[in-house]
Chains A and B, each alone.
Chain A
Amino acid sequence: MGLLTTIILIPFLAVIVIGLLPEKQTAWIKRTALLATAINLGLSIYLCLDYLGKIGWSGANPNTGAGLSLSYEERFTWLGKLGIQYYLGVDGISVLMILLTSIVIFCGVFASWQHEHRVKEFFCFLLLLVTGVYGVFAAHDFFLFFLFYEVAVLPMYVLIGLWGTGPKEYSAMKLTLMLMGGSALIVVGILVLYFQAGKHSFDFSVIAQAKIPVSTQMWLFPVMFFGFGTLGGLWPFHTWSPDGHASAPTAVSMLHAGVLMKLGGYGCLKMIYVMPEGAKMWGTFFMILTTVNIFYGALVAIQKTDLKYITAYSSVSHCGLVLFGLATLNQTAFQGAVVQMFAHGLMTALFFALIGMIYGRTHTRYITQMGGLLKVMPYLGVSYMIGGMAGLGLPGLAGFIAEIQVFVGSFALNSVFHRILTILVATSVVTTAVYMLRALTRMLYGPIQDEHHEHLTDANFMERVPLAILIFMLAFAGIFPGWMIRLIEYSLAPVMANLQ
């Protein structure tokens, strides 16, 4: 059994083990979940280092292949007649995403340590969700990719609906239906690609090299981009995201905003690889849409006072930047977009973890009812501040590396219109600063608003661990981005070659 199958199977085995444990043994259930995610984190770090070792750490070894440069391939025929294979294989971008998934879920399990309501089912669904996410990033067969994609979307309904807060049934239904609507577009697209390519294979590389007719690409590309974009928070199909993330329990928000939304961007990148002509034709259109995305998200975030809604809308804005970078179809902007996926994943996970912890103490999520929290909980406060700084793109943290590359890449496009769009998007950094700093000041500084808040405790050990890991990764990726860029750049070569 290969490394990738192991990574996919471990959370699933944990689901089975937890399923067999008696319901009362909540401590053991949590320990099992933690163990499984810890093993996966270790495996992902190994995967990342090993892959880097294979391709070489420096840029001296460029990728010249036209197919995606895959490693750790595992393939065998699954359903012969349609040529469906169980085909796993990763390139640099998937390696990065698998690492992100492992970090976020590991921290997510820590963040749900205080969870007491129907613990067994909660961890079963959570780990099932993660199994799907790993599968999507590891799959190289379009059918398998889609299968895991659906596995990942589904447990959300129960996770949000059962353990969420606020109008949770409504949010859960809205989220599930909108994402499933998106995948309805994707399933049509998969079949069109399969039959138009005529190669009797769902292999991404095979489909890409089959050169789908331009007339098909012309209508199919926007269909697929909207399909995946729905999960990536593309305006105007982002509306599931704020409600869903605000209602979801902490670990689920972390995982969903941190990792699942990235599946959308990841899928869009694959579509650009498969349909380069369509991408060129529709690039500008999607740049305009995503500009709206970035501004709309940021402007609404300014209006909100509920911390979860602020973070959710900032996610819409930041994920807009991912899609914006992808729509520019430029190497540098692509790199920026993928780094943004990684950075935003860590950042949002940090935010949602913190919000969960703060809400657990203050019992309010409204920044108007908080104040001076830095005095009573310095650890949480400083963590929030670092997250905020990463969000507004402070150099030295991962967000900066992402934003600067997207802006440089899109400004390099040789037309006035694109440059105007770039300038517009770049000014959104200011809007982001407004809502980030406003939330930070209201929450952390000034006099303590509520006398009950004076005796709150700071983070305990189980809470400090995930925050420390996430902050460390944000800073590490911000100060030493070289390894990330190397991973991405190496894997982008075939996409760029297709676009030429």
Chain B
Amino acid sequence: MTQLITLANELGLTALAIIVFSISLLFPKKEDGRTEVLVTSLGLLALLGLTFTSYAPANTAFGGVYQVSPAAALFKQLFLTAGLLISLLSWPGNSVSSILPCKRMGEYLGLLLLSVAGMCFLVSAQELTLLYVGLELATIPMILLVALNHKELRSAEAGIKYVLFSALSSGLLLYGLSIIYGMTGKLYLAEIATRLQFSPLTVFSLALVMAGVGFKISAVPFHLWTPDTYEGAPVTVTAFLSVASKAAGFVLYYKVISVACGSLVDYCVQMTAILACLTMTFGNLAALHQTNLKRFLAYSSIAQAGYLLIGLTHPGELGMTAVLYYLMVYLFSNVAAFSVVILVAAGTGKEDMREYLGLSETNPKLALVMMLAMFSLAGIPPLAGFLGKFYLFAAAAERGSYWLVFVGAINATISLYYYLIVIKWMYLLKPQEGQEKIQAIDIPWAGQLVLLTTTIAMLLIGIFPQVIRWTEAVAVAKF
């Protein structure tokens, strides 16, 4: 029984998923999807509240396979928040063009909840099997979600690409993990760390694992699926994919690489540093010429993963703090950007930044939030992204890799260019002949709530030191 209570969060998520699935079966007449969104949001809010209380009688369950550490709790809060924000953004307003089919809202939200549950399991897993199962539980619903509008060609294509690449990456990961198991004979991460010795086979398995994880966080050169999948998927799914799924990838990276490969730290750090350089540089250069906002944000999120990898080159507390903090910042900033894209797409069907002409005059609120999100992603104070980047750079500098800081800082400048381009379309340019300003958009209450929450979060996290003290405390306690 105590074990079940320890698992309350994940069980709650699964139960909620089942309830949401069955709503449309129980009330087949109401098909606008509002009940489902309401139930999901309230449920997630309740579970989020629960994570802040110390309800669990024990920290571990099933003989240490499952563990709730402070860091795991923080990650769960991130996932639940992401789920909550995305579910609110799915509120079917009086939209001109529907992003999601209202009839299948229950299906959509249920899958979303299952994916969140998978991520929560992943965070708490202390052993390879649960880790892998958690990962698949997080990934498989995502595949279905990406292909939700299966009659639309783009969405179907995105689904196919995503399924192929996740299968490949899971295969690589599993292969790598099985070699590690073969060498050490242990499944527990902590035990593997002490037994793993340096050998060509270890390096090979490590490379396989890194490649597998690289797919999940869309690190270059494993990023090829990202732009197409992001573009084709329903935009709310893209938003979820870009924040929660990526954060889960980083958990995996941290768990497998940093925890399991304790004795090979130096190799991991070097490989991570190279991966970080490639990822941010490529992501930034490719983002320069994107005009479709979904593709644009896809490349921007690749670059952001590169910055996060900088933090992972520091295996100690400072690195952990930096990564945790930046993930939090990235979550709110990216959801803020996506919420604008979602609301504009729902209101007008426009997804191209060139069609955002005059947004600052017709929809000043949306334009302001978008501008703040862009500045936060670019790392401009007083928004949270600034402190986040500074901490990541400080983590690299503490280990003496000043060159990595330099590459990161130059990349931040490059990225500012394309973030400013978005602002240029919204604020600076005036419609020429044959062009029209974007029309005023009616924002539903749920959308307004998300805009408000993310904006306040971007500002508060950047200014108030309590947040970073919290992440520091969490980082000391580790997974």
Query: Complex: how many Å from CA A173 to CA B416?
Result: 10
Q: Identify whether the interface residues of A are mostly helix, strand, loop, or mixed.
A: helix
- A371 lies within 8 A of chain B by Cβ: no
- B417 lies within 8 A of chain A by Cβ: yes
Partner of A147, one of B386, B391, B412, B420: B386
Query: Complex: how many Å from CA A487 to CA B427?
Result: 43
Query: Complex: how many Å from CA A176 to CA B420?
Result: 9
Query: Complex: how many Å from CA A79 to CA B428?
Result: 37
Within 8 A of A (CB), among B443-479: 465, 468-469, 472
Query: Complex: how many Å from CA A195 to CA B399?
Result: 9
- B105 lies within 8 A of chain A by Cβ: no
- A73 lies within 8 A of chain B by Cβ: no
- A169 lies within 8 A of chain B by Cβ: yes
Partner of B380, one of A81, A150, A184, A188: A150
Distance (whole angstroms) from the CB of A275 to the closest CB of chain B: 16
Query: Complex: how many Å from CA A174 to CA B469?
Result: 37
> Are B381 and A192 interface neighbours, CB within 8 A?
no
> Are B318 and A187 interface neighbours, CB within 8 A?
no
Contacts of B386 in A (CB 8 A): 147, 150
> Are A79 and B465 interface neighbours, CB within 8 A?
yes
Of the candidate stretches A151-159, A334-342, A406-414, the one touching chain B is A151-159
Size of chain B's interface in residues, with CB distance under 8 A?
A: 34
- B405 lies within 8 A of chain A by Cβ: yes
Interface centre among A80, A176, A188 (most CB of B within 10 A): A188
Query: Complex: how many Å from CA A181 to CA B387?
Result: 18
Query: Complex: how many Å from CA A151 to CA B459?
Result: 13
Contacts of A191 in B (CB 8 A): 393-394, 397, 402, 405
Contacts of B393 in A (CB 8 A): 187-188, 191
Contacts of A28 in B (CB 8 A): none
Distance (whole angstroms) from the CB of A432 to the closest CB of chain B: 34
Within 8 A of B (CB), among A151-182: 151, 154, 157-158, 161-162, 168-169, 172-173, 176-177, 180-181
- A123 lies within 8 A of chain B by Cβ: no
Query: Complex: how many Å from CA A168 to CA B427?
Result: 13
- A143 lies within 8 A of chain B by Cβ: yes
Size of chain A's interface in residues, with CB distance under 8 A?
A: 31
Distance (whole angstroms) from the CB of A74 to the closest CB of chain B: 16
> Are B416 and A185 interface neighbours, CB within 8 A?
no
> Are A169 and B406 interface neighbours, CB within 8 A?
no
Distance (whole angstroms) from the CB of B398 to the closest CB of chain A: 6
Within 8 A of A (CB), among B385-422: 386-387, 390-391, 393-394, 397-398, 400, 402, 405-406, 409-410, 412-413, 416-417, 420
Within 8 A of B (CB), among A400-451: none
Query: Complex: how many Å from CA A363 to CA B132?
Result: 70
Query: Complex: how many Å from CA A187 to CA B386?
Result: 11
- A384 lies within 8 A of chain B by Cβ: no
Q: In the complex, what residue of chain A is closest to B371 when comparing beta carbons?
A: A158
> Are B428 and A161 interface neighbours, CB within 8 A?
yes
- B423 lies within 8 A of chain A by Cβ: yes
A-B contact list, 14 entries, CB within 8 Å: A80-B469, A147-B381, A147-B382, A161-B424, A176-B416, A177-B413, A184-B406, A184-B412, A188-B406, A191-B393, A191-B397, A192-B397, A192-B402, A194-B394
- B321 lies within 8 A of chain A by Cβ: yes
0 or 1 for each of B302-337: is its CB under 8 Å from A? (1 = yes): 000000000000000010010000000000000000
Contacts of A158 in B (CB 8 A): 423, 427-428
Q: Answer whether A157 and B420 are a contact pair too, CB < 8 Å, given A191-B393, A192-B402.
A: yes
Contacts of B390 in A (CB 8 A): 143, 187
Q: Answer whether A162 and B413 are a contact pair too, CB < 8 Å, given A143-B390, A157-B420, A187-B393.
A: no
Contacts of A169 in B (CB 8 A): 424, 428-429
> Are B381 and A187 interface neighbours, CB within 8 A?
no
Interchain residue pairs A-B with the least CB separation, the first 9: A184-B409, A191-B397, A161-B428, A147-B381, A180-B413, A184-B413, A181-B413, A150-B381, A188-B406
- B250 lies within 8 A of chain A by Cβ: no
Q: Answer whether A185 and B409 are a contact pair too, CB < 8 Å, given A158-B423, A177-B416.
A: yes
